Amino acid sequence: MWNKAPDAAKSETAKSEATKLVVLAAPSGTGKSTLAAMLLARNPRFKLSISYTTRAPRGEEKNAIHYFFVSEDEFTKMIEADRFLEYAVVFGKHRYGTARETVEEMLANGKHVLFDIDVQGARSLKKAFGARCVTIFILPPSFEELESRLRNRKTDTPEAIEARLKTARDEMAAAGEFDYRLVNQNLEDTYRELEGVLQKERCL
């Protein structure tokens, strides 16, 4: 007598282990979110990990699409219940975290999971997932260019812009820890480079 179940289980495992965690990190204003949106629109095998945050929605941001917006209390309860794969305080102010269940479900469904998170989050995921986690850092052409992009965006207060610039300086110093670094001079060119990296990593 033979039993199909072990084979089915094996193929499930093979399917989920072929999937990867792809982390895009960059100082804000570098075009990281635009690159992430392009990848998601063009490659259905990628799903975005939607983070939890204690910061308030900005502009057109919607709950469960851009972030799960939660109170400080709810965030603390999630930490206590060990529901985060990683979490961090970003810009010295708000907390952001990646929920375990979000990622596990996507990986189990045969999707590559894309993360738009900070350097601290990238470090944590790399440590937890090793080679299965591909970390990519997007650099602006120069710090001056980044500063002018952030000031022209007009979505933040001057204090928030200063905080972002300070974090940007610290984050750029960590770029060397990443598996890949791409300089975003021009969106379409950088996107092609990103696809090149993902092909090399057998994600596309």
Binding positions for ligand 5GP, rule: CB under 6 A? 28, 51, 55, 86, 88, 90, 96-98, 116-118, 120-121
In the bound state with ligand 5GP, the residue whose beta carbon lies nearer, of 5 and 80, is 80
Q: Which of 131, 134, 119, 125 is nearest to 30 (CA)?
A: 119
Closest-CB residue for ligand 5GP? 121
Q: Would you tell me how many other CB atoms lie within 10 Å of the CB of residue 137?
A: 25
Closer of 20 and 164 to ligand 5GP (Cβ): 164
Terminal-residue alpha carbon distance, the chain: 39
DSSP 174-194: TGGGSSEEEE-SSHHHHHHHH
Q: Give least dist CB 124 to ligand 5GP, A.
A: 7
What token pair was written down for 29? Answer: 């204003």
Smallest separation (angstroms) from ligand 5GP to the CB of 99: 8
CB of 120 vs ligand 5GP, minimal distance in Å: 5
Q: 19 or 51: whose CB is closer to ligand 5GP?
A: 51
Helix (H) or strand (E) holding 151: helix 143-153
